[in-house]
């Protein structure tokens, strides 16, 4: 079941041409469209389903610098500023709150990792402090629970996944962007090695610049044009309760993490637990992903699902004048794992019985797209002039979505980059760079 989200209208006429076409209306595509249109460029945002329909509405909404890989910290710092800027400029609540993130655990290894991360925090000026056992118990008052300790990131926060991407896209429209939903981009029109248009199911848009912000579909989209983007997806389950008593805004425990929504309900999921489905694309990219699989093996269950045959990870090819997989699967909406929903609720019942008593209102699945080093790709595509990609957010792209969109807009517009794009270049997977698997 898809989470209920703020749906927006589409523009009626597909433009014949534009400065930039953005493919994909998640948090990344919507933010990029916003920052491009704000610079005065004519932008068309094409989305095969509806804006925000995939990962960007299925996440917990954490806007986090805490425990983030150092390569992403400049992007995360930029994003925290942009969330505030966007809220003011758009004039609508995106649910962004610097409510603080609280982590509590009984695992000494985890505690030591958090303590070690404070060195990164110091380098990037992140306001974070370790919690003693008593402080953790006061901050995360679980029934009969005692914690060994915790960590508190005072200036980090959360936003509303059901509001953010649609409202940012609407903001882009105020700056002149057009938005086209139920409008899959089938592929690129390329002339002499330079992009000259995007073929959509509703017609051709002539353009000299395309940003592929297609989330879990980015690799498939680019593969049709002989561009290799190593990408793998895992499936996660999350649920939402009815409004419940307040036990904190954004709380992480080893058992589950919970985020309070604006209406007082909680989104709850188990951090890091996911199912990896074996797919033809997965088999193709098994080598670059081996280090990550080895690092995360314990947290991942392996299975074969429907995605072996269809969806973003098939290796089937298609024709631009006929319906494509993007139209056949308008919204990637995997079923939630019922066993996982039951496990989460048993754990919630043990720690926060009154939250469990509120009951489950909905649950959903979501595919998380990852790169081999768990760091996004925000980069020009060297082999086709005018083509750029911003994808592979690796399970933590919502909070940094505005920053990714901003950096992508810098690259597309040829402006000075707001943060150093080097760690995010696509060529790192082919230029013999050492691939280091990032922290989540």
Chain residues binding ligand FAD by CB under 6 A are 23-29, 46-49, 53-56, 58-62, 184-185, 213-217, 221, 236, 238, 269, 326, 366, 368, 391, 393, 395-399, 401
- Whole-number Å distance between alpha carbons of 373 and 348: 32
The residue number whose beta carbon is nearest to ligand FAD equals 26
> How large is the greatest C-alpha to C-alpha distance in the chain, in angstroms?
68
Residue number, 46 or 407, with CB nearest to ligand FAD: 46
- Whole-number Å distance between alpha carbons of 371 and 390: 12
Closest among 99, 62, 106 to 253, alpha carbons compared: 106
Q: Locate tokens 């927006």: which residue? A: 8
Distance of closest approach, residue 304 Cβ to ligand FAD, in angstroms: 20
φ/ψ (deg, to 5) at 379 = -165, 155
Residue number, 339 or 432, with CB nearest to ligand FAD: 339
Distance of closest approach, residue 269 Cβ to ligand FAD, in angstroms: 5
Distance of closest approach, residue 246 Cβ to ligand FAD, in angstroms: 19
| H-run or E-run covering 68 | none
Residue number, 132 or 309, with CB nearest to ligand FAD: 309
Distance of closest approach, residue 274 Cβ to ligand FAD, in angstroms: 9
Residue number, 396 or 428, with CB nearest to ligand FAD: 396
* Contact call for residues 311 and 214 (beta carbons, < 8 A): no
Distance of closest approach, residue 291 Cβ to ligand FAD, in angstroms: 20
Distance of closest approach, residue 181 Cβ to ligand FAD, in angstroms: 9
Output the six-digit token pair for 126. 């992140």
Tell me the C-alpha to C-alpha distance, in Å, between residue 210 and each of 10, 30, 90, 222, 225: 20, 14, 24, 11, 13
Residue 331 CB-density burial (10 A; 0-12 exposed, 13-18 middle, 19+ buried): exposed
Residue number, 150 or 401, with CB nearest to ligand FAD: 401
Residue number, 34 or 398, with CB nearest to ligand FAD: 398
């Amino acid at each position: 079941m898809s989470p209920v989200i703020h749906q927006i209208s589409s523009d009626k006429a597909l433009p014949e041409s534009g400065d930039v076409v953005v493919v994909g209306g998640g948090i990344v595509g919507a933010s990029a469209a916003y920052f491009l249109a704000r610079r005065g460029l004519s932008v068309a945002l094409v989305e095969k389903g509806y804006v925000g329909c995939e990962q960007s509405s299925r996440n917990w909404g954490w806007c986090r610098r805490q425990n983030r890989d150092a390569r992403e910290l400049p992007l995360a710092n930029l994003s925290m500023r942009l969330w505030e800027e966007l809220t003011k400029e758009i004039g609508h609540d995106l649910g962004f709150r610097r409510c603080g993130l609280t982590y509590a655990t009984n695992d000494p290894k985890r505690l030591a990792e958090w303590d070690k991360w404070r060195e990164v925090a110091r380098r990037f000026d992140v306001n974070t402090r370790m919690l003693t056992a008593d402080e953790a118990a006061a901050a995360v008052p679980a029934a009969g629970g005692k914690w060994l300790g915790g960590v508190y990131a005072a200036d980090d926060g959360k936003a509303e996944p059901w509001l953010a991407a649609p409202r940012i896209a609407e903001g882009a429209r105020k700056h002149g962007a057009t938005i086209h939903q139920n409008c899959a981009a089938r592929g690129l029109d390329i002339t002499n090695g330079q992009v000259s248009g995007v073929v959509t199911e509703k017609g051709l848009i002539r353009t000299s610049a395309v940003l592929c912000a297609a989330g879990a579909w980015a690799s498939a989209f680019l593969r049709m044009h002989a561009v290799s983007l190593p990408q793998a997806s895992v499936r996660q389950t999350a649920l939402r309760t009815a409004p419940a008593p307040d036990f904190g805004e954004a709380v992480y425990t080893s058992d589950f993490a919970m985020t309070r929504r604006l209406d007082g309900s909680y989104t709850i999921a188990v951090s890091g637990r996911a199912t990896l489905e074996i797919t033809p694309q997965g088999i193709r990219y098994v080598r670059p992903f081996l280090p990550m699989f080895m690092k995360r093996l314990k947290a991942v269950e392996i299975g074969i699902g429907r995605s072996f045959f269809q969806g973003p990870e098939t290796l089937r090819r298609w024709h631009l004048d006929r319906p494509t997989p993007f139209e056949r699967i308008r919204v990637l909406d995997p079923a939630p794992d019922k066993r996982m929903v039951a496990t989460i609720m048993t754990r919630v019942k043990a720690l926060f019985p009154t939250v469990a008593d509120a009951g489950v209102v909905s649950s959903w699945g979501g595919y998380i797209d990852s790169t081999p080093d768990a760091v996004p790709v925000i980069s020009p595509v060297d082999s086709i002039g005018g083509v750029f990609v911003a994808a592979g957010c690796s399970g933590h792209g919502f909070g940094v979505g505005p920053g990714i969109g901003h950096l992508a807009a810098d690259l597309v517009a040829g402006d000075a980059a707001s943060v150093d794009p080097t760690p995010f270049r696509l060529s790192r997977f082919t230029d013999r760079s050492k691939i280091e698997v990032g922290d989540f």
